[in-house]
Structure 1
Amino acid sequence: MSQTSPSRPSNETTAETGLARFGDPLVLVLTIGFVIAFIGLSLWDMDRVADGIGTGFAWTARVLGSYFQAFLLLTFFIGIGVALSPAARATVGDLERPEMSTFKWLSIIMCTLLAGGGVFFAAGEPVYHFLVTPPAFDTEAGTAEAVAGALAQSFMHWGFLAWAVLGSLTAVVLAYAHYIKGQPLRPRTLLYPVFGERIMRGWFGGVVDSFCVIAVVAGTVGPIGFLATQLSFGLSELFGVPATFATQLGILAFLGVIYITSAVTGVHRGIQWLSRFNVLLAIAIGAVIFIFGPTLFLANAYVQGMGTYVSSFFTMATMTAETAPGWWMQWWTVFFFAWFIGYAPLMAVFVARISRGRTIRQMILAVAVMAPIATTIWFTLLGGSGIHYQLNGVFDLAEPLNNFQFDVATLTVAQALPGGTWMAAAILLLTLIFVATTGDSMSYSIAMVGSGHDAPHPLIRAFWGGVMAVMAAMLLYMGSGQISVLQQFIVITAIPVSLILLPSLWTGPKTAYAMARAQKLLPED
């Protein structure tokens, strides 16, 4: 196999000049136009914007929830089928050995995909399901019998199905089109096996890319904004720093500097270093929690929770508004599944970009199996500890969680952990870096979409990182409620994005076999 690929520039600073740096002008106009329109309409009539998006959000959850659930189920099982097939021996990027070490590669994957919200919900969501029994179970809320179901429901939202849609079949399609056919790493390339060259040129391809970029901007600005409120609240509770807009603005500026610097320095420097540091910090915090916290309870809870997750997998995955309260499906399962769908095209772009030299089997199993298992462990350490302390009367999170105040839940659980204030400060730092790793990877991915190649100019990466930081700051100025509205909007964008992803259910396996044949690992038809 060759050591180089003609589709990859020789270094990460290779760039075009002038406005051509930003690639397709339609993508730039539509995406920036969305940002300006959302902020402008919010300033003009915030309530009308919130009501309109809320109505669309509720309709999408009610009418298309089952479609989203079926799509995630099919993606996971077809993806696992591809990973177990003979074609899975094919190598992404046609390299003899990977571009980066396994630990660095897995660190980037974990930090990029989990940070979009997992760290924000890890402490509070299991406790919420412990206090409000999910509709798939009939255990009495707040009792020892409710522990397994609470963790299992959290695993369903952040487990195999969520991760598989973010970078399994879609990453295979992109890898084949990019590294074998020489097509750019753009969302429109997912439709290349269906439409051929027509989708790569003209306005339709630009609209496809724009929908996917808008979905990621909406999904990334939310965690960035929520982090500012969470850290502001934490600094106020721990160190007496006033929880004002000025504090939030300072946090946003600091965060922006971190993730923009990381994105500018590139995959092999800033993004890799930040992700590796974050994973090591998470491992250290997790070890302290497990060793000095409620060790036996956490071990038993994980085994029981994973067992319940597997045994009740299809019950939870196929629960609909007909068999569960409509509000519950809207704000939990359907919300999360639609959120992951909205993220999926650009996440797949990034996974394909960093996986050169990995086999298809390694890429799918890392994203759809190994990363979800690591996520369930993290949810058990934080959320399971929260359940333990709630069960034993150390604190009561019923009121804040019923009001969806997950920043309060995270800090409360963190302060109850071994180390108290210092552990809380460490978890806040970890959350900051987790969100930064989403900011840098998504800035890089959006820049790839805009520029049309996998080494976009540093100015493009900085530009998109700055756009998201400024948007978060302006929405926080209006109130954190407007960031929640933006989060709901990603559920609406999941409608067109899901149609872009849909062909991967059959083109994914086909392109995997085509890649294997191109590398002479399988005989020609």
Structure 2
Amino acid sequence: MSTDIRRVEGPEVRSGGADWVVTGVSAGMLLVFVVGAIAVPDTVGGWVTTGFTKSAEWFGFYWQLLMLATFVVALVLAATPWARARFGDATPEFGRFKWIAMIMCTLLAGGGVFWAAAEPMYHFLYAPPYFTDVVPGSDSAAHVALAQSFVHWGFLAWAILGSLAAIVMMYAAERGMPLRPRTLLYPVLGSRVVTSPIGTVADIVCIVAVVAGTVGPIGFLGLQVSYGLSSLFGIPDVYGVQLAVIAVLTAVAAVSVVSGVNRGIQLLSRVNVWLALALMAAVLVLGSAWYVLQAFVGGFGVYVTDFVGMSLYRGDPTWVSGWTVFFFGWFLGYAPLMAIFIARISRGRTVRDLIVSTAVLPPVATCLWFSVLGGTGIMLEQRNPGEISGPLNEAGLPAAVMAIAGDLPLSTLVSVGFLLLTIMFVATTTDSMSYAVAQSCTSKDHAGSRMRALWAVLMGAAAAVLISIGDGGISALQSFIVVTAVPVGLIVLPSVFAAPVMVYRMAVQQGLSSWRTPPRSATPASPTKPLTDAQEEAHA
């Protein structure tokens, strides 16, 4: 199949350049939210809280089912002979390490540091309601705490972000569809979605969701790094310092996204991964590698054993809304734009390679990372109760990281490393999502550098303004992504049913299906000229 992304003819496509309707409405909605949060913060906060509560109540179980179904279908699909089908050229555009590094760093963001330290500790102190017989603070509570964190950050999160939706996006792009969120509706509307108002609405909704989910971590980063600098070096924890952190982050992300995927984005991701590996090794050596290994095996065992039950648990609606549904809604909001980014960097990969390298290997690596950081925190808490939980309860997420690092040898060096890693994680998420948002706002094959830089700066500026009113504005924006996940969940749904059909068609076209091989007398399709849907159906 060709790696060129050809466009379906239509008024929007012939005009070329930016789609100013999508760009203007998306940026305008962000502006309205920021202005409203500053002018009437209590009103906006109340609206978001109500929207969050209703979204979690009405759609929470649907999201849980959708994410579980996505993972199961992806896993089964990877095991079929069809999964040998390849997207695009025979040679992948990026090496495996560069490719997986870009994927992992885009999802983890700052949560890869702060939540990895804090969430297991919360569940260790207050056992999740699914495990009614677990005594908080016990050894079994440590395994349960890690297992619950794995549910939120493990297989289901990665599957919704990197498997079936990316397959639909790549398949449709090879047939002339643009790399935009609307293309996820291609299985339902066909090529009409390119010029349909429904496609425009889909683009806007998905952009707003991912912008909300990215601006939140940027602002959160400014608050948390400022806290870290204050605790380490006595630098005043004031708005000026927070603003400086966001300015540096935005500048790094803007330069990275302007330089493109082949340069800045992949380079920043590689540096990020190496730094994360170095810090993980440092924590293991300076802490207790044996304890972490036992915690990982025990937690992963509970995760696998109770996988379905924990993923679909609804026994305590308030707890589920605040934890599982919140994370699932957040990741779901990222799904369409992540599908665009993964489709852009995954040409030349097979279907099996794509699924295994997004929905299997990264989640296992994420669980190991949570075990290293969160498991070490639990170990320190067991040795000296209150050592980690005290700062966490008093000052929130960043305090857990600082407390863990502070209890290890070379504490200052490790603490600075974690602060730097957090900045790098958020920077890689910002540049990747700026690229995907810009691509969603253009009808060209590739978004221009100005459009990419514009969105990086807009998200940084929005975060800088929101933190001026405290963390309430940032928290409201992060909760707002759960509201936007309601329509996004409907946009992603067709991928569950369409991806297997598309993969089967690819396999038949490429002569890879062991269950139905094209007749020898048939003329094989050219790998650089994909068949139309009608031709594929007739050929199959």
Corresponding residue number in structure 2 for 1:329: 320
SS of the equivalent of 1:241 reads coil
TM-score in terms of structure 2 length: 0.91
1:169 Cα deviation (Å)? Answer: 0.4
Structure 2 residue ranges without an equivalent (≥5): 519-538
Whether 1:342 and 2:342 are equivalent positions in the alignment is no
Alignment of 1:181-330 (within 5 A): 181-320=175-314, 323-324=315-316, 326-330=317-321
Corresponding residue number in structure 2 for 1:12: none
Whether 1:519 and 2:514 are equivalent positions in the alignment is no
Provide the rounded CA distance (Å) in 1 between the counterparts of 2:335 and 2:258: 23
Deviations 1:409-455 (A, max 9, x none): 12111222332111010011011101100000000001111113452
Whether the aligned pair in 2 keeps the contact of 1:211 and 1:496 (CA below 8 Å) is yes
Structure 2 letter corresponding to 1:483:
I
Whether the aligned pair in 1 keeps the contact of 2:110 and 2:423 (CA below 8 Å) is no
Provide the rounded CA distance (Å) in 2 between the counterparts of 1:473 and 1:352: 31
Whether the aligned pair in 1 keeps the contact of 2:112 and 2:425 (CA below 8 Å) is no
Q: Choose the corresponding residue for 1:55, options 43, 50, 53.
A: 50
**Inter-CA distance 394–414: structure 2 relative to 1 (3 Å threshold):** farther
Provide the rounded CA distance (Å) in 2 between the counterparts of 1:489 and 1:339: 9
Whether the aligned pair in 2 keeps the contact of 1:288 and 1:418 (CA below 8 Å) is no
TM-score in terms of structure 1 length: 0.94
Structure 2 letter corresponding to 1:92:
F
Corresponding residue number in structure 2 for 1:97: 91
Alignment of 1:77-476 (within 5 A): 77-93=72-88, 95-115=89-109, 117-137=111-131, 138-179=133-174, 181-320=175-314, 323-324=315-316, 326-393=317-384, 395-402=386-393, 405-476=396-467
Provide the rounded CA distance (Å) in 2 between the counterparts of 1:103 and 1:287: 18
1:92 Cα deviation (Å)? Answer: 1.6
Whether the aligned pair in 2 keeps the contact of 1:66 and 1:318 (CA below 8 Å) is yes
1:292 Cα deviation (Å)? Answer: 2.7
Bigger drift between 143-152 and 433-442 goes to: 143-152
**Inter-CA distance 121–221: structure 2 relative to 1 (3 Å threshold):** same
SS of the equivalent of 2:241 reads helix
1:288 Cα deviation (Å)? Answer: 1.5
Whether the aligned pair in 1 keeps the contact of 2:392 and 2:398 (CA below 8 Å) is no
Corresponding residue number in structure 2 for 1:488: 479
Provide the rounded CA distance (Å) in 1 between the counterparts of 2:86 and 2:63: 30
1:7 Cα deviation (Å)? Answer: 1.7
Structure 1 letter corresponding to 2:331:
F
Whether 1:503 and 2:503 are equivalent positions in the alignment is no
Count residues with an aligned counterpart.
509
Provide the rounded CA distance (Å) in 2 between the counterparts of 1:115 and 1:86: 35
**Aligned-residue CA RMSD in angstroms?**
1.7
State the identity as a percent: 48
Structure 2 letter corresponding to 1:177:
A
Whether the aligned pair in 2 keeps the contact of 1:172 and 1:352 (CA below 8 Å) is yes
Deviations 1:167-214 (A, max 9, x none): 1000000110002x0211111001112101221103221110000000
Whether the aligned pair in 1 keeps the contact of 2:162 and 2:358 (CA below 8 Å) is yes
SS of the equivalent of 2:176 reads coil
SS of the equivalent of 1:97 reads coil
Whether the aligned pair in 2 keeps the contact of 1:26 and 1:207 (CA below 8 Å) is no
1:105 Cα deviation (Å)? Answer: 0.6
Provide the rounded CA distance (Å) in 2 between the counterparts of 1:319 and 1:295: 32
Structure 1 letter corresponding to 2:155:
F
**Inter-CA distance 142–394: structure 2 relative to 1 (3 Å threshold):** closer
Q: Choose the corresponding residue for 2:33, options 12, 34, 38.
A: 38
1:400 Cα deviation (Å)? Answer: 5.0
Whether the aligned pair in 2 keeps the contact of 1:24 and 1:206 (CA below 8 Å) is no
